[in-house]
Chain A
Amino acid sequence: MKYRILLLLGLAVTYVAPIFAHHSFAAEFDSSKSITLTGMVTKFDLINPHGWIYLEGKDENGKEGKWSVETGNVSTLLRRGWTKESLKPGTEVIIQGSRAKDGSNTINAREVKLPDGRKLFAGSSEGDATPK
Chain B
Amino acid sequence: MKMPSFRRTPTVAATVMFVIGSGAITPAVAQNSKSSNPYTAGRTPDGAPDLRGIWEVHGTINWNIEGHPKQDGIAASKSVIVDPADGKIPYTAEARAKKNAISLADDPQTKCYMAGVPRVTYTPGPFQIFQTDGLVIAVYQDLHTYRYIPTTGKPQMSGAEFWMGSSRGRWEGDTLVVDSVSFNDQTWFDKAANFHSADLHVVERYQLTGPNTLQYEALIEDPKVFTRPWKMRMIAERHTEPGFRILEDECLKDSKGVLSHILPGK
Q: Which A residues contact B (CB, under 8 angstroms)?
A: 46, 74, 78, 82-85
Return chain B residues, CB-CB under 8 Å to A78.
Answer: 157, 159-160
Residues of B contacting A83 with CB < 8 Å? 158-160
**Residues in chain B within 8 A of chain A (CB atoms):** 157-161
| Residue numbers in A under 8 Å from B158 (CB-CB) | 83
Residue of B nearest to A77 (CB): B160
Q: A83 to B182: give the CA distance in the assembly, Å.
A: 12
Where chain B touches its partner, the secondary structure class is: loop
A78 to B158, CA, bound (A): 9
Complex CA–CA separation, A77 to B160 (angstroms)? 10
Minimal beta-carbon separation of A73 from chain B (angstroms): 10
CA distance A85 to B182 in the complex (A): 13
Task: Closest A residue to B159 by CB, please name it.
Answer: A83
Q: Is the contact region of chain A dominated by helix, strand, or loop, or is it mixed? A: loop
Q: How far is the CA of A74 from the CA of B161 in the complex (A)?
A: 9
Question: What A residues does B160 contact at CB under 8 A?
Answer: 46, 74, 78, 83-84
Most chain B Cβ neighbours within 10 Å, of A83, A84, A85: A84
Tell me the total A-B contact number using a CB cutoff of 8 A.
15
**A74 proximity list for chain B (CB < 8 A):** 160
The CA-CA distance from A74 to B160 in the complex, in Å, is 8
| A100: min CB distance to chain B, Å | 23
Q: Report A-chain residues with C-beta under 8 Å of the C-beta of B159.
A: 46, 78, 82-85
Q: How far does the Cβ of A20 sit from chain B's closest Cβ, in whole Å?
A: 26
CB distance from A125 to the nearest CB of B (A): 20
Expressed in whole angstroms, the minimum distance between the Cβ of B251 and any Cβ of chain A is: 15
Known: A83-B160, A85-B159. 9 other contacts (CB 8 A): A46-B159, A46-B160, A46-B161, A74-B160, A78-B157, A78-B159, A82-B159, A83-B158, A84-B161
* Complex alpha-carbon distance, A79 and B158, angstroms: 12
Minimum Cβ distance to chain A for residue B143 (Å): 14
| Distance to closest chain A CB from B72 (angstroms) | 33
A84 CB contacts on chain B under 8 angstroms: 159-161
B108 shortest CB reach to chain A, Å: 14
| B157, chain A: closest CB distance, angstroms | 8
Complex: chain A residue closest to B157, CB-CB = A78
The complex places the Cα of A83 from the Cα of B162 at a distance, in Å, of 12
Residue of B nearest to A75 (CB): B160
Task: Give 6 closest A-B pairs by Cβ, nearest first.
Answer: A83-B159, A46-B160, A74-B160, A84-B160, A78-B159, A78-B160
A-B contact pairs, 15 of them (CB 8 A): A46-B159, A46-B160, A46-B161, A74-B160, A78-B157, A78-B159, A78-B160, A82-B159, A83-B158, A83-B159, A83-B160, A84-B159, A84-B160, A84-B161, A85-B159
For A85, the chain B residues whose CB sits under 8 A away are 159
Complex Cα distance, B109 from A130, in Å, reads: 39
Minimum CB–CB distance from A80 to chain B (whole Å) comes to 11
The distance in angstroms between the C-alpha atoms of A11 and B263, with both chains bound, is: 41
> Quick one: closest A residue to B162, CB to CB?
A74
Nearest-CB distance from B146 to chain A (Å)? Answer: 14
Chain B residues, CB < 8 A from A46? 159-161
